Amino acid sequence: MIDLSQEALIALLIKSFLSGVALGVFYDLIRAFKMFFGVSYTRPTTDRSVAVRVVAYAVTFLTDILFWIIVGITSVLLMYSVGGGVFRGLTYVGLIGGILLYYFSIGRLMLRVSEAVVNFIKKALRRVARILAVPFVWIGKRAIFLFHLTIGKFIGKIKDRRARKKARAEIDLVEKEAPDSGGKEEFVYVDGKNGYKRDGRISFGRVGKES
């Protein structure tokens, strides 16, 4: 084991502490990135929809793994740069101390600032998306209108024709089963409904059941 002088140990502690502060800043950037995917630090994520919660948990899991990988790489670099590659507790004392000091001081202020900035950017992006979607919405409405005016109208006529044939067949069947008692019966099609007219009265559905 390599013995370090007091100056080297102090230098290791200072470098570790500053590295911890830098990691705190990096963690703030990660938190801001999470906010774009629905992670909130001011209200529970469980209050959101299922899709938002799934995305938020997945992003949190992946970014936390990335953060601790960076912490591990930083500690190894500190050990080799100052301690000759030998494990020393001062390295982690400085790292953890720097992270905690940043987190409970400037980090709390930066959390509010980051959330406000992220919300502003998200609102701005939504407005831009709505503006960009205007021509597509206009084209879509015109396309639907033309569809109903051409193909839709043709399909509607086919459906009406089939409905008329079905109603006529049903009336014919009832006439065979129960011949008319003398009143004249006429097939009618009123307001999209199939029926029959007998002695001035109009009935819909099966003959013999008046509306």
pTM: 0.56
| CA 95/CA 155 separation, integer angstroms | 72
Cβ neighbours of residue 17 under 8 Å, at least 6 residues apart?
94, 95, 97, 98, 101
Q: Are strands 193-198 and 185-190 parallel, antiparallel or unpaired?
A: antiparallel
| CA 84/CA 79 separation, integer angstroms | 6
The DSSP call for residue 205 is S
List the chain domain ranges: 6-126, 159-204
Going 170 to 176 to 181 to 184, the CA torsion angle's sign is positive
Mean pLDDT per 10-residue interval, the chain, length 211 residues = 67 85 90 83 65 83 90 82 68 86 86 86 88 85 77 74 71 54 54 57 50 39
CB hemisphere CA count around 8 (13 angstroms): 12
